[in-house]
Structure formats: structure tokens, C-alpha cells
Structure 1
Amino acid sequence: MISFAPGLNTVAVTIQTAIAPVFLLAGIGAILNVLAGRLSRIIDRTRALEALHPRSTGPEHDRHVWELRILDRRISLTNAAISLCVASAVAVCVVVALLFVARIVDLRIGYAVAILFIVAMAMLTTGLLLFLLEVRVSLKAIHVRADLLEHQRK
């Protein structure tokens, strides 16, 4: 009787090979958790300012518009970062699946797996750079305005 089922040793070796990408998935999950939390806080602040916007006038109105523009940019950056990190996670999942398929069916797709992993890392890196950019943009809105700071009089 001929068996096409993979041997236990084949599966065990493939699992060992897939361990690193699986840990990477856990890390991407943690990053996505941080990004989703930031996006939630950005949206909450946007809604609060949108409620104040129609009732404001003068410098206060200008400040609301300025901050809403920053929040809009932050939403775009965070959304792009989330999209790239999710795409990276999906690519890593495909890498893991391909590792098993290649081992079971004896496919020689090492280059394809390597390229897909490199693409996953490039997407993750770009997502992290967008996250860094979003943090930098957020600092613009966090700084205390000079007119509110009461410097010591000489």
C-alpha cells in the first residue's frame, strides 16, 4: 500500500522552520494593537473637536481647524500603517502555508518563499516608518502654545 501522507518527521521539521514566522506574527499582532489604540484615540479627539468646531470663533476656531487638519493626517498615516502591517501579516501567513505545502508536495519554491518573506518585511518596515511619522505629526498638536506658557518675567 502506497501512502502519500507526510511523515511525522517532515511535519516536525516544517513546524520548526515555521516557528520564527509565527513569532513574527505575534509581534505584528502587538503592533496592530498599538496602532488600533492610537487610531481610536485620534478618532475620539476628532469627534470632540468636530463638536466644538461650529461653536468656536476667532483664534479658537483657527486652532480647531489646525488641529483637525493634523488629526486628519494622523488618521491617514495610521490607516496606511495598519494596512501595511496587516498585509505583512497576511504575507507571513502565506509564507508559513507555503513552507508546509512545499514540504508535503516536495515543491522547490524556496525563491518564492524568500521573496514573499522579503516583501512582508518591506511592508512591515514601511508600516513602522509610517507609525513613526504619525507619532512625529502628533507631536505638533501636543506642544503647548507659546502664548499659554507664562515665562518668568525678568
Structure 2
Amino acid sequence: MPFPVSYDPDAVDSAAHLIQVALTPVFMLSGIGTLINVFNTRLARVADHLEDVRKKLAAPPSDTDTPDPFYTPERLAAHELRLHRRIFVLDAAIMLNAIGGASTCGAAMALFVGSLRDASTSTWLLAFFGIALACTVGALFFFLADTLLSWHGLRRDGLSLSSPKKN
């Protein structure tokens, strides 16, 4: 006698779809958490570099050492300004990613409440997930801005060191 199993393809497809939809916010949160970790690490490095530049600016010049053309007060002040800009764009990237993470949690909550109450929560779900995606894209644009600021600073410092000053 065969084992009695009822197989309803619609119920299986519905359950599989619900699992797929429920896992999407988990993967999104994982990605957002990784991005926040990367941005925080980069922000910490920029802040450490800023502290080093401020120490060099505050240190009195020594008469015995030959001055390093890279660490002139003017260059250090310009570098300090660039580091402040990088901190600003990294802060904005972290803030947008945090909003994206919160919106992803809101989308997951809307999905959960919608499945419990069998209510129409598609508007909330789409709004939260749309905000999460938009904020994540915005955070990546701010990260790109930090990368360009970093690259521009390295390129500018490298070019000005290699070319002699004309008087």
C-alpha cells in the first residue's frame, strides 16, 4: 500500500515563492552590513590619517632637519581639507546605508505582517524595499566620491612632487 501523500503544486509553488521573497531582505541586509563594515574601516583609516596630519601641522619646525617638500604647511593644510571632505562623504555613505538597512527591515516586517494578517501590504513592501535600494545606490555613489577624492589627492601629490618648481 503506497504512502498517502497529497501533492498540491500550487501550494508548493506558493510556499517556495514565500521563502524566496522572505530571503531577499536577508541577503540585502547582509550586503548592507558588509558595505557598512567597509565604509567604517575606511572612515577609521581616514580619521587616523587626519590625526597624523594635524600632529604634523602642530609640530614646530626643527632647524636641524632638512625640510621635507611633501610636508610643507600649505600641502598639509590642503591635505587636511581633502581628508575632511572624505570624512563627509563616508559619513553620508554610512548614513544612507543605515537608512537602507532600516528600510530593508521595514520591508521584511511588512512582508511578515502581510503574511500573518493576509492583508494587502504590497505598497509598504515596495516602498521600504525601494527606499533600501535607493539608499544603497546612494551610499555606493558616496563611496565612489571618496574613492575619487582619494585618487585625486594621490595623483595631485604625486604629480607635484615629480615636477620641479618653476620660479
Question: Shorter-chain TM-score category?
Answer: 0.7 to 0.9
Inter-partner Cα distance in structure 1 for 2:93 and 2:163: 38
- Structure 1 residues 13 and 150, CA, compared in 2 at 3 Å: closer, same or farther? closer
The residue that corresponds to 1:120 in the other structure is 132
- Computing the radius of gyration from Cα coordinates, the structure with the larger value is 2
TM-score, length basis structure 2? 0.77
Could you say if the C-alpha distance between residues 13 and 61 of structure 1 is closer, same or farther in structure 2, counting changes exceeding 3 Å?
Answer: same
Do the aligned partners of 1:28 and 1:89 also contact (CA within 8 Å) in 2? yes
**Structure 2 residue corresponding to 1:54, chosen from 53, 58, 65:** 58
Is residue 159 of structure 2 the alignment partner of residue 146 of structure 1?
A: yes
TM-align CA RMSD:
2.3
Farther-moved stretch of structure 1 (49-58 vs 118-127): 49-58
Could you tell me which amino acid in structure 2 is paired with residue 35 of structure 1? F
Counterpart residue type for residue 44 of structure 2: S
Instruction: Identify the match of residue 123 of structure 2 among 111, 125, 132.
Output: 111
Per-residue deviation, 1:13: 5.8
User: What TM-score does the superposition give when structure 1 sets the normalisation length?
Assistant: 0.83
How far, CA to CA, are the matches of 2:18 and 2:113 in structure 1?
A: 10
| Alignment-derived partner of residue 89 in structure 1 | 101
Structure 1 unaligned regions, length at least 5? 1-8
C-alpha distance in 2, partners of 1:85/1:34?
A: 11
Q: What is the match of residue 110 of structure 2?
A: 98
Change (3 A) 1:77 1:98: same
Mapped contact 1:81–1:126 kept (Cα < 8 A) = yes
Q: Which runs of 5+ in 2 are unaligned?
A: 1-11, 62-66
Q: Which amino acid aligns with 2:92?
A: A
Instruction: Name the CA distance, whole Å, in 1 between partners of 2:136 and 2:160.
Output: 40
The secondary structure found in structure 1 opposite 2:119 is coil
